[in-house]
Structure 1
Amino acid sequence: MSAAPATPQPASASGPAPAGLGLLLVPPRSRPAWRLIPARVAAMCVVELQKLRHDRTELYTRAIQPALWLLIFGETFTRINVIPTGGIPYRDYLAPGIIAQSTMFIAIFYGIHIIWERDSGVLTKLLVTPTPRAALVAGKAFAAGVKAIVQAVVVVLIAALLGVALDLNPLHLLGVLVAVLLGSAFFSCLSVTIAGIVRTRDRLLGIGQAITMPLFFASNALYPTSAMPGWLQAVSAINPLTYEVDALRGLLLGIPSHLPLDFAVLIVAAAAGITAASALLGRLAR
């Protein structure tokens, strides 16, 4: 008779576990915050780019308004020549302001996406992950900035086709992307902060529509701050859009600007926006 097959012995508690079982028993090593947060931000940006790749309709429709501003408003006021622009054509002077305006209009309604994620349950699932809330908000903010950068590239192409004399130095263009990214991050965080207060899409949409044009006209996008009345100059001095436009004019047109101050204000504004939005994100999820 043949010998009976040997019964497999249970693994000893002190002995080495099989390779496959060992992977299940050993918890994954936690990554430090300086690696975790950039990874989460990059993931959010990739998701936003995938949305644009699958649906370009919004990008095309949003290109109509800046084209009309440059073609109609810019050409008309270039002929009238009533706004002091330092000797450059008004159409050229207007182009950086329209870039900032079009990207702000995208970011200021980004809170609607957060409310939609709250209603669909996605936000609750994100909040129970070990990712810090500041990283979630920063990821959302810079994802909105990615969409704004794509919009800015479209406006730059339109301005070039209309004959606007732009400085296409690669280093200056990189500065333009950073300025647009920081400005959009602030305005998207402002939108998320408002969403955390009002908590409904209708209220957010109403407030967003109420503040976009005042922010636009209380900046140097259409005219220099020296042409404003004193009270409006004071409002413009605390408006981050003013510093974004000033940075874009200095980089794209080569006119005198205050780039260190502009980028410092944009960085501080983006950081303050992320902090405020992070504090209200939990309230929005309730």
Structure 2
Amino acid sequence: MEVIPAIDLLAGRCVRLYQGDYEQSQIFNENPLEVALQWQNQGATRLHLVDLDGAKEGTTVNLDIIKTIVETLTIPVQVGGGLRDRISVERLFNLGVERAIVGTVAVENPDLVTELCEVFPNKIAVGIDARDGKVATKGWLETSTVEATDLAQKISNKAAAIIYTDISRDGTLIGPNLEALKELAKVTDIPVIASGGISSLTDLLSLLSLEYLGVNGVIVGKALYTGKVDLKEAIAAIGNGRIQDIPLNFDDSAMA
């Protein structure tokens, strides 16, 4: 299972939101490139980059910062936020972005997502961000009537991954929604990446119980920035972890 550190960009800064609320943003670093290099140096094999301004505006906003990060790092970068047409996606690929993440268009224009998956096989990830089981769109500012599981079933099998985020847990450090992840992973053969709520190595290891269903990655944000999770330790724990080797009452101190 891949542990993927996240950088959320807002007004050119590295921030984290609480439950997707733009009014509850916390600045962690004024220099996102510095943070990206930090995660790469600690062993990250991929970086998750979100343009929060882009998600809100419907078009990529922090393009220069994304370009600098992609050109500087040696690990692959996946980028989401405001990608609602083919031109925007192609622009990122021309910068060297390895994987583009689309979300809103999966609900509003599913045919475009199918087309993108066909034209760029294994380079398009679909972000399914759910609030009470319903898919949220437009930077989480609106909630649709589409069930997350229904959307997952309709995604082209040429998609690289589904990134599932439980909005109510994002930025809260209260742990992942294992039941919702399980239900979503059961209805699709596309690899699933978990996101939202990770607060400890215990939370990370709990995801190994879903690996057999295709949950093969986890995005970690606030827990890294607050020091609750050490990236090197997390990568080692997940990389070496076998669910049968994990004691039923494991705790973080046992994994240190």
Higher CA-based Rg: 1
Select the structure that is richer in helix: 1
TM-score of the superposed pair, with normalisation by structure 2:
0.26
- Which one scores higher on RCO, CA 8 angstroms, separation ≥ 6? 1
